[in-house]
Amino acid sequence: MAMAIKLSLLLLVLSCSLIPTFSLFEDQVGFMDWHQRYIGKVKDAVFHTQKAGRKRVVVSTEENVIASLDLRRGEIFWRHVLGATDVIDKIDIALGKYVITLSSEGSILRAWNLPDGQMVWESFLSGSKSSKALLTIPANLKVDLDSPIFVYGGTCLYAISSIDGEILWKKDFINEGMDVHQLILSEGSNVIHAVGVSDSSEFNTYEIDVKNGGVLKHVRKPFPGGIYGDILSISSDKFVALDATRSTVLLISITDGQINLQQTHVSDLIHGVSLNPIILPSKLSGIFSLTTDTFIAFIKVTHEGKLNVMEKVDKTVVVSDALALSEGEQAFALVQHGDSKIHLSVRLVHDMSSNHLKETVKMDHERGFVHKIFINNYVRTDRSHGFRALIVMEDHSLLLLQQGEIVWSRDDGLASVIDVTTSELPLEKVGVSVAKVEDSLFEWLKGHMLKLKGTLMLATPDEIAIIQKIKLQSSEKSKMTRDHNGFRRLLIVLTKSRKLFALHSGDGHIVWSTLLQSLRQSTECPNPTALKLHPWQIPHHHALDKNPSVLVVGRCGLSLSSPSTLSIVDAYTGKEARNAGPGHSTVQVIPLPFSDSSEQQLHLLIDDGNRAHLYPRSREAVEIFQRESQNVYWYDVEAEVGILRGYGVKRRCDGDEYCFEARNLWSVVFPSESEKIISTVSRKGNEVVHTQAKVIAEEDVMYKYISKNILFVATVSPKASGPIGSATPDESLLVVHLVDTITGRILHRMSHLGSQGPVHAVLSENWVVYHYFNLRAHRYEMSVIEIYDQSRAENKDVLKLIVGKHNLTTPVSSYSRPEVSTKSQSYFFTHSVKAISVTSTAKGITSKHLLIGTIADQVLALDKRFVDPRRSLNPTQAEKEEGLLPLTDTLPIIPQSYVTHAFKVEGLRGIETIPAKLESTTLVFAYGVDLFFTRLAPSRTYDSLTEDFNYALLLLTIVALVVAIFVTWVLSERKDLQEKWR
């Protein structure tokens, strides 16, 4: 029998060694995670369709992205994200092979290779002060020194070499006190005209030699009272502008070197009272557009200088820039939105009475209105002109229209996510099969034969690719029902476009999207802004008959005192269940840990007068809140003046039973001459702590100080509040505080001499980790503080626990002065950081990992043990058994610890973690210009088998073991029988 056991173990080892091992990238990337690339809302576009090769459009966006898109499918050929401060001003294409971009208020000029996006050269332009940025590329540009690119920025005019970006000459207008509005360069001319307005309300025009920057002629003319906005060029010698009162249109003509001004009252021009007239920046030859509160007027400027209104259209109409068709002929497009349709018409500038092209396209009403349009022409087979239109919608989506159809669309509103929450998927209905029905018996057999060949390692590379495709198609990760592990969820994201998206966590596809009606621009809500997103109703007892819902809070204006709007949105369908129009202001939203009988969570909305408004507005909610109002506290951070304030509920407001006055409980004032608040962080409200006790070396116990009311506050000296390097180490001081928000008591305070921000921090359980810059060491640092409850230090005697002589049963109150102790440690960290988060699990048992968004737009997972403050140079044997690592001055960066693998989440802004039902697993969602989602197991999947577990090989192993046991049993019985016959 012993021989049978040995043979069985040998077979088991041999069978396990046959299990193929795959790297994370080949076997799990794409199954457990997904990555989506976006560009943001397009603000400028240039088409490149001259050659017969790849037709593309180069765009710049509000997310500071430059991208080249395929005109056939809308895919990204290449893309560059310039950064939050490097705002793109102008883009253009030069020589048919270079993309020229001007950014940072005209201070950075770059040339990119059009086919692959590689940077050719970069030029830094230092101006005297900020000003409008202008870019002019000659039509006959050549790659030589005689054909430069002209740039205006920082009150300076530059001629830039198209070869290497070298500055050929510079003309500074700071002494003239002039701001240039237009640069005009006629084809083949050696003179560039700079047109602008001086500080003394004078119209100026300069003729400048393109070879050396010398001023050939300067003509000026005083303006009566100045102008409003910019001067618009309608030809090389005619310009229009509005006066400072916006009541008169000024026509500026240059004839024989003389400037002539002609004034026309707006009321005489459009015959009626019109409010807020603005000249649109559409570049049409001989025509300009004047918009009012009700309509847009197209006004033609005759050769004699007369202004004739050619047509009036509704204000909702969007006008494109002019497109040159042939010499002297231009076309432009008009787009008007109808009921779930948009009407596109293309007109010729010299014949506006008739439509050169007119199309009607069906449009999803959830995309909102058209915001911008860019047109391009192509030659049909009959040699006539066809047109394609690139349209930017209200929800920041991008569409290409051609021949009355939508060729492709991109949901680029997802590049501007501002808040995230999650929702459970619907329960699976009884009787619905989980397995996917195969198309045919032949396909079923074929698929299983391929899987068997893959298991036996007999599949070819092509068959392995087919097996991977079958796995993706048969995977249940994109089903619209819940799974028992909690991996399938809805990621509900709120975007800057005021649109709500629900993404499936399985593969990232859009389940539904809703353009919130309560945040549409209107007279009641002129400047709507989305603010926060919170779970509103999470049905557990009513999961079969009620859908979960979310609360969206917005604001009608830019100031904190602006009225706010509320929307309740169904998490399964995306429909707005109800909304409330502009009402009281909202400065802070506080989810309360109470729910009513319909499982709606109670919320407090704090206005700018520190009044608390209770939602939902129901009698039951008021009764629940009044019972618990003595235990409701909140705080406010006034970073500008350096004050923290704590509040409680005082009484009801007069005339509103759902409004409550606040009473000021405490305040902490940081002296403005020594400290300035730059960062505050609190714990997640839904974080679960498994145990308060922490067993350390030699079986000792420390008790964590667990409180949801701890606030981390970081302050710096005023001189160190600027960017890194703005202050010397002696002038810099970083101070961190742990504040109890119920009493205002400062539990711990630590100073870092010679350090400054930016500070990124995460607070979890009883510890906080924060990242900052050490000016003395010229390196980034990461520090950790752990806080422990000393009042429970004596509760380690089991006998006291049995007889009840301990204080564990005494009530815990924030008003009792806590006896706390802290441990801290600092480490060097080699990367700058954009965001920090921490993994969260359902029960809080699994070890923690820090999720660090690096400057390279990747997410790094760092084990919390690396930032343990108890690490020492020579840990004892007991400390080693506990898991303490030897102390090092630098935190390690392990390449295999990058959660995002080889992907980059461009423009990374935030990292959200969601606990799954499986304790070992947390869901990670990182967002910026891109989106990335994955599953992470900090302590490995100790409570489940992995998805790639080879069940077929396990079955073969079990069968082999049973056969081996049976064979060895027969041999053993035969041997025993032979020995007995002896």
Residue 922 pLDDT class (50, 70, 90 cuts)? very high
Asked whether the predicted pLDDT for residue 22 surpasses 50, the reply is no
- Range in 170-179, 473-482, 856-865 the model is least confident about: 473-482
The pLDDT of residue 30: 58
Asked whether the predicted pLDDT for residue 365 surpasses 80, the reply is yes
Q: In this structure, are strands 227-233 and 156-160 parallel, antiparallel, or unpaired? A: unpaired
The pLDDT of residue 753: 94
- Residues 556-565 have a mean pLDDT of 88
Asked whether the predicted pLDDT for residue 636 surpasses 90, the reply is yes
Domain of residue 456: give its range.
Answer: 428-479
- Range in 355-364, 454-463, 513-522, 567-576 the model is least confident about: 454-463
The pLDDT of residue 10: 40
- Residues 800-828 have a mean pLDDT of 68
- Here the CATH number for the domain that contains residue 122 is 2.130.10.10
Asked whether the predicted pLDDT for residue 7 surpasses 90, the reply is no
The pLDDT of residue 473: 57
Residue 386 pLDDT class (50, 70, 90 cuts)? confident
- Residues 107-117 have a mean pLDDT of 93
Q: Of 500, 488, 510, which Cα lies nearest the Cα of 418?
A: 500
- Residues 58-75 have a mean pLDDT of 94
Asked whether the predicted pLDDT for residue 948 surpasses 80, the reply is no
The pLDDT of residue 11: 37
Question: What is the Cα–Cα distance from 205 to 763, expressed in whole angstroms?
Answer: 60
Residue 441 pLDDT class (50, 70, 90 cuts)? low
- Residues 686-700 have a mean pLDDT of 80
* Residue with more model confidence, 854 or 238: 854
Tokens of 736: 């961190």
Sign of CA dihedral 474, 478, 479, 483: positive
Residue 2 pLDDT class (50, 70, 90 cuts)? very low
- Range in 367-371, 384-388, 970-974 the model is least confident about: 384-388
Asked whether the predicted pLDDT for residue 439 surpasses 60, the reply is no
Instruction: Quote the pTM value.
Output: 0.87
Query: In this predicted model, what pLDDT tens digit does every residue of 266-306 receive, in sequence order?
Result: 888 877 666 788 888 887 888 888 888 888 888 888 877 78
Q: Of 748, 744, 714, which Cα lies nearest the Cα of 821?
A: 748
* Residue with more model confidence, 923 or 191: 923
- Residue 880: inside a domain, yes or no? yes
Residues for the chain: how many in total?
A: 982
Q: Are 266 and 249 in contact (CB under 8 A)?
A: yes
Q: Rounded to the nearest 5°, which phi and psi values hold at 960?
A: -65, -40
- Residue 31: inside a domain, yes or no? no
User: Which one-letter amino acid corresponds to residue 524?
Assistant: E
Strand order in the sheet with 156-160: 134-136, 149-153, 156-160, 167-172
Question: What is the Cα–Cα distance from 383 to 377, expressed in whole angstroms?
Answer: 12
* Residue with more model confidence, 141 or 547: 547
Asked whether the predicted pLDDT for residue 730 surpasses 70, the reply is yes
* Residue with more model confidence, 11 or 932: 932
- Residues 10-34 have a mean pLDDT of 47
- Residues 105-109 have a mean pLDDT of 91
Number of domains in the chain: 3
The pLDDT of residue 521: 81
Sign of CA dihedral 112, 117, 119, 124: positive
- Give buried/exposed letters for 793-808 (b at 16+ CB in 10 A, else e): eebeeeeeeeeeebee
Question: Which of 222, 256, 272 is the last residue in one of the domains?
Answer: 222
Asked whether the predicted pLDDT for residue 433 surpasses 60, the reply is no
- Residue 437: inside a domain, yes or no? yes
The pLDDT of residue 924: 96
Residue 699 pLDDT class (50, 70, 90 cuts)? low
Burial of 766 (0-12, 13-18, 19+ CB in 10 A): buried
- Residues 184-201 have a mean pLDDT of 83
Sign of CA dihedral 219, 223, 226, 229: negative
Share of the chain above pLDDT 90, in %: 41
> How far apart are the two ends of the chain, measured CA to CA in Å?
20
Residue appearing with tokens 């994201």? 493
Question: What is the Cα–Cα distance from 356 to 640, expressed in whole angstroms?
Answer: 57
* Residue with more model confidence, 567 or 449: 567
- Residue 831: inside a domain, yes or no? yes
- Range in 289-293, 692-696, 707-711 the model is least confident about: 692-696
- Residue 291: inside a domain, yes or no? no
- Residues 941-966 have a mean pLDDT of 82
Asked whether the predicted pLDDT for residue 685 surpasses 80, the reply is yes
Asked whether the predicted pLDDT for residue 854 surpasses 90, the reply is yes
Question: Which of 448, 479, 510 is the last residue in one of the domains?
Answer: 479
Burial of 687 (0-12, 13-18, 19+ CB in 10 A): middle
Average pLDDT taken over every residue of the chain: 85
Asked whether the predicted pLDDT for residue 260 surpasses 70, the reply is yes
- Range in 456-465, 508-517, 571-580 the model is least confident about: 456-465
Asked whether the predicted pLDDT for residue 142 surpasses 90, the reply is no
Question: What is the Cα–Cα distance from 611 to 625, expressed in whole angstroms?
Answer: 15
- Range in 578-587, 693-702, 944-953 the model is least confident about: 944-953
Q: CA-CA distances (angstroms) from residue 518 to 341, 347, 583? A: 22, 36, 12
Asked whether the predicted pLDDT for residue 802 surpasses 60, the reply is no
- Here the CATH number for the domain that contains residue 795 is 2.40.128.630
Asked whether the predicted pLDDT for residue 8 surpasses 80, the reply is no
Among 73-87, 181-195, 339-353, 538-552, the range with the most confident prediction by mean pLDDT is 73-87
The residues that bridge with 216 in the sheet, in sequence order, are: none
The pLDDT of residue 111: 94
- Residue 384: inside a domain, yes or no? no
* Residue with more model confidence, 432 or 414: 414
In three-state form (DSSP H/G/I as H, E/B as E, the rest C), the secondary structure along 658-689 is EEEEEEEEEEEECCCCCCEEEEEEECCCCCCC
Residue 482 pLDDT class (50, 70, 90 cuts)? confident
Asked whether the predicted pLDDT for residue 620 surpasses 80, the reply is yes
Question: Which of 856, 888, 905 is the last residue in one of the domains?
Answer: 905
Helix (H, G, I), strand (E, B) or coil at 821: strand
Query: In this predicted model, what pLDDT tens digit does every residue of 509-518 receive, in sequence order?
Result: 999 999 998 8
Contacts of 65 (CB under 8 A, 6+ apart): 39, 40, 59, 79, 80, 81, 82, 415, 906, 907, 929
Question: What is the Cα–Cα distance from 719 to 735, expressed in whole angstroms?
Answer: 14
- Residues 44-62 have a mean pLDDT of 86
The pLDDT of residue 849: 94
- Residue 163: inside a domain, yes or no? yes
- Residue 351: inside a domain, yes or no? no
Asked whether the predicted pLDDT for residue 20 surpasses 80, the reply is no
- Range in 71-80, 105-114, 316-325 the model is least confident about: 316-325
Contacts of 765 (CB under 8 A, 6+ apart): 687, 689, 704, 706, 844, 848
* Residue with more model confidence, 185 or 187: 185
Contacts of 731 (CB under 8 A, 6+ apart): 717, 719, 720
Residue 638 pLDDT class (50, 70, 90 cuts)? very high
